[in-house]
Amino acid sequence: MSFLIAVPPTHELTADFWNSPSFVRSFMGDYGFRSEVEPKISKSEQSILQEVVAKAENQLEDAIIYLEKKMEDKSSAALHFALGTMYYQNGRLTRSEESYNLAIKKFPSFLRAYKNLGFVGLSLGNFESAAKNLSRSISLGEGDGVTYVALGYCHYMRQRFMSAENAYRMGTLLSPDSKYAQNGLVNCLIETSRFPEALALLDELLATQPEDVICHRARVHALQGLGKEREAAVAMETLKRMGQLKTQDLLNLGDLYHNLNLYELSLQNYQLAIEKKERISLHRYVRAASILMNRASYEDCFQYLEKIQQLLGSNFTPEDERKVLLLKAEVLQATGQTKESTTILRKIVEMHPLEGKALIMLGRHAWQDKDYVLASLHFERASKIDEFEAPALIEHGRMMVGIRNYEKAVRLLERAEDIDPQPRISRFLESIRNLLLTARVRL
């Protein structure tokens, strides 16, 4: 079994993006206008804008109030644009959106209004409309890297990975140092399973940014996508030396080493994960314990389960406790401690009457103790649970063979065969039928 142990680099546009000088320049620009794609303004409006700009530098709210009072039905698109920009600066996104739409209504080829409206839509999570407006600004002549990165992000969030890739590629050309363009491009390559290309790009980026944790994590992902688990483990160890592995990562690295049959290294990472005492989904810890159990590392498994109980303690949910106790019972059974295993199994069944696996195990213990009536009772209870019906019938049938009740064994195994046909059970059933026929002939 193989597990992906890293995630692609983040595609989110974080505060660093929104506060970066390149974004501020791209969004804010200045309050001047380009005649071919932006509206002309009268001398009186130029005077208003000069006053607004002076106020906005230190008194944004006052500037907004001042401009709101100056707005008239005949005000140009330029004033609506300026007001929309100040609304955006002030965090009033819906009002900003309204102002930009009014600017576009009055001047349909208003490049910067389309672009900024796209950024507002992106901030509001309206990725479809944001992409439409950003694309329109590009068609009008916008050509900065920030706009392409934002467009790539919109397409990525809509799972239009090829369109996102094209936008991110333009973003990398126009803004070669943009980590958002680079990360976005890597994500698109990984999402479309082009792992060799992703790996080549990541190696290129790491040559100049050897400490970039995001790139190292993405590289692990790409290596696993190529089925290069040994190289992926080496890449994870690099992150480990950098102190960048979280509890989840250590568990995943343990899984990876298990896949490579490097069991000691696998166990070391499972133990490191539990020692971090970090609460993550219990099933990850239980899966690690299950792996130890399946490879017959019973002592290590039992100690690991003890640590899980110590870690979660009173925070166990009933479902958590069931999973851990069931594994402990299996370990005890596998190491010949049947009495202790039975005690735990009874506790499980008391709390979870429909736990079929525990009922089957109790049936086996009773069978081992030659208490065939009790064993049959447990097997019959388990067979009434859909998920465990066939396994319970098979175990019951095996026990009936053991005590030479071949007729009942055949009936039980035939029911199991109807539910879940299996070649080995078919062969077993056929041999029991032959035994039954031979016994009848002798009579």
Q: What is the residue extent of each domain of the chain?
A: 31-140
The answer to whether 389 and 359 are in contact (CB under 8 A) is: no
**What's the CATH number of domain 31-140, 2.60.120.10, 1.10.3470.10, 1.25.40.10, 3.30.413.10?**
1.25.40.10
| Cα–Cα dist 301/266, whole Å | 12
pTM: 0.64
The single-letter code of the amino acid at 83 is L
What pLDDT, on a 0 to 100 scale, did the predictor assign at position 340? Answer: 85
What is the pLDDT at residue 315? 60
Sign of the torsion formed by the C-alpha atoms of 426, 429, 430 and 431: positive
Cα–Cα distance, 179 to 184 (Å, whole number)? 8
| Chain CA centroid to CA 188, Å | 16
Question: Phi and psi (nearest 5°) for 243?
Answer: 70, 30
* pLDDT score at 89: 87
Q: Which residues, in sequence order, are CB contacts of 101 under 8 Å at separation 6+?
A: 117
Low-confidence ranges of the chain (pLDDT < 50): 1-33, 35, 443
Encoding tokens for residue 354? Answer: 């429909």
Asked if 344 contacts 328 with a C-beta cutoff of 8 angstroms, the reply is: yes
User: Which residues, 6+ apart, have CB-to-CB distance to 402 below 8 Å?
Assistant: 367
Q: What is the DSSP string of 6-19?
A: --PPP----HHHHH
Q: Rounded to an integer, what distance in angstroms lies between the CA atom of residue 350 and that of residue 118?
A: 59
